Structure formats: C-alpha cells, structure tokens
Amino acid sequence: MDYFRQKHAAITGAGSGIGRALAQQLNAAGCHLYLSDVDETGLQATVASFTNQAANARCTVVDVADAEAVQSWAAAVAEITPQLHLVVNNAGVDLMASVAETSLKDFHWLININFWGVVHGSQAFLPALERAERSHLVNISSVFGLIAVPNQSAYNAAKFAVRGFSESLRQELDLAGSPVKLCCVHPGGIDTNIARRARNVDPNATEESQQAMFAPHVRTSAEDAARQILRAAEKGQRRLLIGSDAKIIGWIVRLFPTAYARLFRDKAVSALSDAPPDPPSDQSPHTP
C-alpha cells in the first residue's frame, strides 16, 4: 500500500461501505483524500475512523447525479492539487422492483446515480488524472454488470452501462497513450449498507428485512473488497471481479451467455452463486 503514500485520491460515496473502506485504507497509507457523499454524517464518520491524522482528508457533500455539483467539486479539488493519482467512482444505490412496478421516476433516480454519476466523475476528474505521470480511474460496476436477474432491471441497466462506458473510455485512453489506467470493478455480494438503503416497491419491506434477505449472499467484507480494488489499481489491472460468487458467475455467463437464466432458475448453481436457494417470486434475489 506504500504505492499510495503522498498521492492524491478522490472517492465518491465515501460515507459508507466500500467507499469508506477505501478511504480508511488510503488514509492509513498516507494518501491525501478528497471525499464526497450525499450523506454528510456518513462522511464525518468515515473521517472520524481514520488512524492517520497526518494525511489530509477534505470532505464535500456532492450528489453524483448532479453534473454541475461534480464539476464544481472537481474544480475545488484542482485548486488544491492539479494532479490526482486515483479517482474511484463508487457512489451507488439499489432499487428492488419489477419493470412493471418501477416508476419512470425511480428508473431515472437510479440511472442518474449509478450510471450518470460515473460519467460525471470520469469527465470531471480526467484532466487532473491526465496531469499525473501514472494514475488510475476506477469505476464500480457490479457482478450485475455481467449477469441480469429479475427485479433489478434499473440496476442491471446502469451497471452494464458502466461496464460499456468504461471499456470504451479505456480504449480511448490507451489509443491516446494516456497515463490513466482504467479498472472496471465487478463486485459480488459485499457486506455494506446497499441493501438496507435500497428503494423497494414492497410497502412491507423494511431496512432490516432487506438486509436479512441480502445477508446470505454476502461473500466479502467491504475491507477485503477495498484491498482488492487498491491492489488492482496499483497493478494497472483492467477488470476486477471480487468474490468467489462474481468469479463463478463471470465464467457461467461466458459459457452460457443466454442459458444462464435457466441455470439460475433451476437452482443448478445456487450453492455456488448469489442466487438464493428459494427466491420469493416477488423479490429480487440479491442486490449487488
């Protein structure tokens, strides 16, 4: 982790989960941090958990869905440091509902955060990343950017879009001889607040019931996920699948690009993957 000492990194969604764990590990490594989230209390708790008080951490409340807010944050960061070495477009939300039940408002809400947030962050921070000798843009997709499941259409669409956007941008950077290495990350089930905070059309769903449904599908801690992300960035890795669940699903999709849905429905791989043993017909199986 010495690689990040005295470097400068910006992270969205740093008030919880993977974003918080990334911030903690980068802080411990002596990296200067520019953290944002919509949740000011979460951001404060992240900073309060830091072990290395010598490294700077500046927090800004930013809604990644708001292009102008992300641009102003990037401009404020550029006034402090012209160069950034790492940007992680991490902020994200989930929504559990069938296509028929999902309002256009909810579709827009999720896509604006999970997809447009990544586009806003990439465009706003690319100039600062380009100014460094070697730098890293990390976009967080999901295993649900590799495989689709029922009741996650908005999330699936956004995470597939993050992957397409990132793979196209990476080729542009490579062709231009850019110093920016882009890594697209596909985590499986990670122990965070994503399910607890998900929007759900079921009026009986509570934070606790959503978390209880998600818990059996968690394979990796947020800390371990963050460690893997930082290691992959340092190595200049282009793609990272986190967790045995994501790796197995990655192979299944390659081998059975359309039949995978039947495999999951038949529970042939349920013991190996995030598909629950008995998904209730009206609920999504899992939320990454």
Ligand X SMILES: NC(=O)c1ccc[n+]([C@@H]2O[C@H](COP(=O)([O-])OP(=O)(O)OC[C@H]3O[C@@H](n4cnc5c(N)ncnc54)[C@H](O)[C@@H]3O)[C@@H](O)[C@H]2O)c1
**Which positions touch ligand X (CB under 6 A)?**
12-13, 15-19, 37-39, 42, 62-65, 90-93, 113, 140, 142, 187, 189-190, 192-194, 197, 288
Minimum CB distance to ligand X, residue 97 (Å): 16
Helix (H, G, I), strand (E, B) or coil at 261: helix
Minimum CB distance to ligand X, residue 240 (Å): 11
- Decide whether 29 or 241 has the Cβ nearer to ligand X: 241
Listed residue (254, 226, 251, 245) closest to 288, CA to CA = 245
- Decide whether 16 or 132 has the Cβ nearer to ligand X: 16
End-to-end CA distance of the chain: 27
Minimum CB distance to ligand X, residue 114 (Å): 6
Minimum CB distance to ligand X, residue 256 (Å): 21
Cβ atoms of 146 and 249 closer than 8 Å: yes
The CA-based angle 252-275-260, given to 5 degrees, is 30
Q: Which two tokens stand for residue 72?
A: 């102003």
Q: Among residues 3, 34, 155, 260, which one is catalytic?
A: 155
Cβ atoms of 26 and 4 closer than 8 Å: yes
155 flagged as catalytic? yes
Q: Which two tokens stand for residue 230?
A: 């930082």
The C-alpha atoms of residue 94 and residue 261 are separated, in whole angstroms, by 21
The CA-based angle 190-4-9, given to 5 degrees, is 70
Cβ atoms of 140 and 117 closer than 8 Å: no
The C-alpha atoms of residue 155 and residue 143 are separated, in whole angstroms, by 11
- Decide whether 178 or 270 has the Cβ nearer to ligand X: 270
Q: Phi and psi dihedrals of 68, rounded to 5?
A: -65, -40
- Decide whether 38 or 180 has the Cβ nearer to ligand X: 38
- Decide whether 135 or 152 has the Cβ nearer to ligand X: 152
Minimum CB distance to ligand X, residue 133 (Å): 28
- Catalytic residue set: 155
